[in-house]
Amino acid sequence: MSTPVLLVIAHGSRDPRHAATVHALVRRVRALRPDVRVETGFLEFNVPSVPGVLESLATEGVRDVVALPLLLTRAFHAKTDIPAVLADAPARLNVRQAEVLGPSPLLLAALERRLYEAGLTPADKSSTGVVLASAGSSDPEAIAVIAEIAREWRRSGWCAVRPAFASASLPRTEDAVRELRELGCARVAVAPYVLAPGRLPDRIARGAAGADVLADVLGPSPEAARVLLERYDAARTPVLAAVGA
């Protein structure tokens, strides 16, 4: 019984930092699980493309693939784009789509890691307001998830946590920063809830100009790598069961 190949599906970007960060995260995943073959495919802008990787795997004789969307919420790409691409996979491949990475307690831990790396300490939590800044979506389910993550994170001891969005939804990062100032938080930090640099993370950074602290993107954090493998393991179990049937 073979272990399914893990195909990490990233959106892709004209910004070279995006692909570099994706590849760094994949390298961390490989280091954590050397028994798993991990491949990377992009929906657009970068190579290899997802269809190209699937075709190559089928040509090699691979049978089982877990396709994992490198996304933090279930929005358009996870619900529409990626299933459409996977539906066109070679017929000899058994492909199962894993769940997106978020929400996860590990990602909250990664957000805090990035804030501490940017200069905060655990002792600052009660006096610091945090903007949870995501890329944004027109999908109400995705927006609701971000709002719930902010509420949950607030309960861990921060002065306040407010969601913000770089596109499609409101408020913007700068508006959430202003709200936290008016609320009376001694300092304001912006935590980008995004995986890799690019146009929208740059917009978040510009909106954070009035904040005291701007954290880095999640990137190849150990927590993100662990979540990725959790999603892979959850999706591959039915694949293996089907193979053994």
Average pLDDT, the chain: 95
Query: Do 125 and 203 have their domain in common?
Result: yes
pLDDT at 243: 44
Specify if 244 maps to a domain.
no
How many domains are there within the chain?
A: 2
- Which of helix, strand or coil describes residue 114? helix
Q: Is the confidence at residue 245, as pLDDT, over 60?
A: no
The string of pLDDT tens digits covering residues 88-132 is: 999 999 999 999 999 999 999 999 999 999 999 999 999 999 999
Query: Do 84 and 117 have their domain in common?
Result: no
* pLDDT band for position 244 (cuts 50, 70, 90): very low
pLDDT at 19: 98
pLDDT at 133: 98
Average pLDDT over every residue of 53-64: 98
Specify if 21 maps to a domain.
yes
The string of pLDDT tens digits covering residues 66-90 is: 999 999 999 877 899 999 999 999 9
3-state helix, strand, coil in the chain (%, to 5): 50, 20, 35
Which CATH number goes with the domain that contains 142? 3.40.50.1400
What is the chain's Cα-based Rg? 19
What is the rounded distance in angstroms from the CA atom of residue 217 to the CA atom of residue 232?
22
The string of pLDDT tens digits covering residues 162-179 is: 999 999 999 999 999 999
Specify if 140 maps to a domain.
yes
Specify if 210 maps to a domain.
yes
Domain that holds residue 64: 5-102+222-236
For residue 1, count other CB atoms closer than 10 A to its CB.
7
Query: Do 209 and 112 have their domain in common?
Result: yes
The string of pLDDT tens digits covering residues 133-152 is: 999 999 999 999 999 999 99
What is the rounded distance in angstroms from the CA atom of residue 166 to the CA atom of residue 22?
20
Helix boundaries (H) for 33-139 = 50-60, 76, 82-87, 105-117
Specify if 245 maps to a domain.
no
Q: Is the confidence at residue 239, as pLDDT, over 60?
A: no
Q: Is the confidence at residue 205, as pLDDT, over 90?
A: yes
Q: Is the confidence at residue 242, as pLDDT, over 50?
A: no
The string of pLDDT tens digits covering residues 1-15 is: 589 999 999 999 999
Specify if 69 maps to a domain.
yes
pLDDT at 1: 55
